[in-house]
């Protein structure tokens, strides 16, 4: 019986200190903008305009958040309606995008059919075009389908985003072995069961990452190009209208930034822990 030997990294104490110093430095660089945004939202108006600017806050206050919610509640459409619109579009758009992209990626990566390589080349090519380039064709399609001024004018383009499809296909080719699928076929499993029970758990890091990117994009989308009815507009649009009043609402704008970034950060925090856990335990060896 082979003797198990625990792997030991040959590194000095100085090397450990240097490595952790670099990690801590980059962690501080990444978290500093979020900390600064929170501090700005707690500053009274007189501290916001001190020159040179101060990083800390001398007299913290929640008045900026109070003013933000008061302005939202005093608008023609209640705050709860704006919040519902944003959550509905973000959740439905993210869920549909993950499912559709995963199913298409499974067909392209594990099922060989005529034209699959050509289709994937078109998908790869589409990643070169920004949203500003595809905005006019998307608007024309939505108008021809009578979807302007509806939730679907934002949700359907999110379904068809090729970034998620590209990510899922590349990850399935790397993590899912053909032998696993063949064994499932021999056991009598159908394609749908193989996809949900075998493939999706194996590519969990990919679709968790996709959830973060998709939800963040939809949460921050204003939808002003496609949505004209005030009852259907997003929370981000309502907040942007409130903070556009000028320097008198600088504190409200700082509070709005913290409020809008809070939920995406929470989604990332909870999803990131699952990504790390799955990355360390996933994978199949022949």
Tell whether the torsion through CA atoms of 162, 166, 167 and 168 is positive or negative.
positive
Blockwise average pLDDT, block size 10, the chain, 286 residues: 48 76 86 85 79 79 82 75 89 93 90 85 86 84 90 90 88 85 86 89 85 86 83 82 70 81 77 57 44
CA–CA dist 43, 46 (Å, integer) = 8
Say what the pLDDT of residue 4 is. 45
Say what the pLDDT of residue 274 is. 60
Say what the pLDDT of residue 95 is. 93
Q: Are the C-beta atoms of 168 and 102 separated by less than 8 Å?
A: yes
Say what the pLDDT of residue 11 is. 61
The pLDDT tens digits of the residues spanning 54-104 come to 778 878 888 888 887 777 777 777 778 888 998 999 999 999 999 999 999
Say what the pLDDT of residue 1 is. 41
Q: Where are the domains of the chain?
A: 67-281
- pTM for the model: 0.76
Say what the pLDDT of residue 247 is. 66
DSSP 207-241: HHHHHHHHHHHHHT---TTT---GGG--HHHHHHH
- CATH code, 67-281: 1.10.3720.10
Say what the pLDDT of residue 6 is. 47
Burial pattern 51-61, b for ≥16 Cβ within 10 A else e, equals eeeeeebeeee
């Amino acid at each position: 019986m082979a003797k198990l030997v625990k792997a030991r990294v040959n590194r000095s104490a100085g090397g450990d200190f240097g490595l952790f110093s670099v990690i801590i430095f980059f962690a501080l660089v990444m978290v500093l903008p979020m900390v600064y945004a929170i501090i700005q939202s707690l500053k009274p108006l007189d501290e916001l305009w001190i020159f040179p600017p101060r990083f800390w806050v001398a007299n913290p206050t929640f008045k900026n958040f109070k003013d933000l919610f008061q302005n939202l509640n005093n608008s023609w459409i209640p705050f709860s309606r704006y919040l519902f619109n944003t959550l509905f579009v973000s959740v439905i758009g993210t869920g549909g995008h993950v499912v559709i992209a995963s199913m298409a990626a499974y067909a392209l990566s594990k099922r060989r059919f005529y034209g699959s390589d050509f289709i994937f080349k078109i998908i790869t090519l589409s990643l070169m075009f920004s949203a500003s380039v595809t905005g006019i064709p998307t608007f024309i399609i939505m108008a021809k389908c009578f979807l302007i001024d509806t939730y679907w004018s934002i949700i359907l383009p999110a379904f068809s985003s090729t970034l998620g499809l590209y990510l899922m296909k590349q990850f399935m080719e790397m993590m899912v072995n053909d032998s696993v699928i063949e064994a499932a076929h021999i056991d009598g499993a159908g394609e749908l069961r193989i996809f949900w029970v075998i493939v999706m758990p194996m590519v969990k890091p990919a679709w968790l990452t996709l959830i973060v990117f998709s939800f963040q994009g939809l949460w921050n989308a204003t939808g002003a190009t496609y949505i004209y009815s005030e009852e259907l507009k997003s929370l981000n649009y309502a907040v942007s209208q409130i903070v556009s009043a000028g320097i008198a609402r600088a504190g409200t704008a700082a509070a709005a930034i913290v409020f809008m970034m809070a939920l995406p950060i929470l989604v990332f925090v909870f999803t990131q822990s699952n990504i790390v856990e799955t990355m360390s335990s996933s994978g199949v060896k022949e």
